[in-house]
């Protein structure tokens, strides 16, 4: 079955804000990766891009930094190859959602319902369950064209 590997990065600048010093977690299982960007704000994201180990930023899925309130630098979007962003706040994130759509990244808002991600190390399986619909997506992390969510009515 294999094993998962976790790596952590924390900016060590004592003058940085508490949010910018929050620990970022990189999870790798097989060929699939996910990056939890904690509460980073703009300065913390730039420090991460400058100081993180090689390969740390390359990922298919992120937990968006600072609950979706922090916009991602264009350089990060190009460098990371991110395909999906989990946003844990539904208020004041319209600009973030627009940025994700414009960059070809699928934004997923947890306020719309339960989000489940799984991987066998080759494929990601993603679904979001709400009261009315189930939205599912399966993709290879290496795909280059934008995937779209399919909406299926739940069995009643």
Work out whether strand 32-36 and strand 61-63 pair parallel, antiparallel, or are unpaired. Answer: parallel
The residue ranking higher by pLDDT, 21 or 151, is 21
Residue 40 has pLDDT above 90, yes or no: yes
Q: What pLDDT, in 10s, does the model give residues 98-107?
A: 999 999 999 9
List CB contacts of 45: < 8 A, sequence separation 6 or more: 37, 65, 70, 72, 73, 76
Which residues, 6 or more positions from 148, have their beta carbon under 8 angstroms from its beta carbon?
none
Residues 6+ apart with CB under 8 A from 128: 108, 112, 113, 114, 115, 116, 134, 135
* Average pLDDT of the chain to the nearest whole number: 86
pLDDT in tens, 117-146: 999 999 999 988 886 666 666 655 443 333
Q: What pLDDT is recorded for position 129?
A: 85
């Amino acid at each position: 079955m294999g094993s998962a590997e976790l790596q952590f990065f924390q900016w060590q600048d004592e003058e940085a804000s508490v949010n910018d010093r929050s620990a970022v977690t990189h999870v790798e299982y097989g060929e699939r990766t996910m990056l939890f960007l904690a509460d980073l704000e703009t300065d913390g994201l730039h420090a991460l891009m400058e100081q993180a180990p090689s390969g740390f930023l390359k990922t298919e899925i992120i937990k968006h930094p600072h609950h979706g309130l922090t916009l991602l630098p264009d350089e990060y979007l190009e460098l990371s190859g991110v395909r999906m962003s989990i946003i844990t706040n539904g208020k004041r994130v319209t600009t973030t959602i627009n940025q994700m759509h414009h960059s070809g990244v699928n934004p997923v808002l947890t306020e719309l319902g339960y989000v489940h991600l799984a991987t066998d190390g080759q494929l990601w399986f993603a679904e979001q369950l709400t009261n009315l619909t189930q939205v599912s997506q399966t993709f290879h992390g290496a795909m280059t064209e934008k995937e779209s969510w399919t909406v299926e009515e739940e069995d009643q």
